[in-house]
Amino acid sequence: MGKGKSHSPYIIGDYHIPVIIYKEYRRSIRFSVTKKGLIIRCPYLTPSIGIYDKAKLWCVERLKDNPSPFTEFLILKVPDYYRLTLWDNHYDVHVTTHNGDRDKVSWDDGKINIALGKWYTPKDKSKAHREMIVKFAQKRFKPIMTERVNQLNERHFNVEVGRVTLKNNRTNWGSCSGKGNINLSVRLLKAPEAVRDYVIIHELAHLIELNHSDRFWNLVKQACPDHKKYERWLKNNGHTLSF
């Protein structure tokens, strides 16, 4: 594997996307997005300038179709106050700065208070703000999400469920393990209830059928007859759920 070489970041709207090119023993060119940025893997003799421009066009198209994987690189001005809705709960979010060495988040009675360090650049402040909101969402709603998983499991499947985790994953809506653990994207807290339930049912069905066979989809259909409608909703609207 070749050594990655960093290039100037793409600036597309409010996104500042780092670019890393790997020259390798390969025949094809591959683009992907990770937490590090846009990863370009190409044959050794590929001209960097040409592939750099081609990859930018790829990024523009991907941002139109699905911006979620690029959330890490979104730089927005953090407002002092705004409203946030999660799981049909409305919160007044207040953002302040302080001289301490740790960011803080606290909440009470429909209010979320976030204190960020004064030293942040706009890019780092935007990222730190998102991390604090996600931290709040995970702590506040993990018990509620776990309860809903257990309710739907008891209603439709009656399988053994292990640990339920809310993760800040941006490439899928949920996953499960052979040990019965279920991971759900924290982004689902912004989704309609029926869509959340569909994703939970999808993962619960995987605890019986660890595949996407006809048997699996029959289980999903029995528990959620309108599952195709919710799949379409996520495909068309999932990009609006990012933090």
Percent of the chain with pLDDT over 90: 59
Same domain, yes or no: 45 and 88: no
Report d(CA 44, CA 66) in Å as an integer.
30
What's the confidence (pLDDT) of residue 1? 47
Same domain, yes or no: 151 and 169: yes
> Which among 26, 55, 73 is the end of a domain?
73
Using pLDDT thresholds of 50, 70 and 90, give the confidence band for residue 90: very high
> Which among 139, 156, 181 is the end of a domain?
139
Mean pLDDT for all residues in the chain: 91
Can you give the pTM of this predicted structure? 0.75
Q: Each residue of 129-146: pLDDT tens digit?
A: 999 999 999 999 999 999
Same domain, yes or no: 86 and 155: no
233: domain CATH number is: 3.30.2010.10
What's the confidence (pLDDT) of residue 16? 86
Structural domains in the chain (count): 3
Residue 211, phi then psi, degrees to nearest 5? -165, -175
Same domain, yes or no: 153 and 233: yes
CA distances from 164 to 54, 91, 180, 201, 209 (A): 41, 24, 9, 13, 18
Q: Which domain holds residue 31?
A: 4-73
What's the confidence (pLDDT) of residue 73? 87
Report d(CA 12, CA 17) in Å as an integer.
8
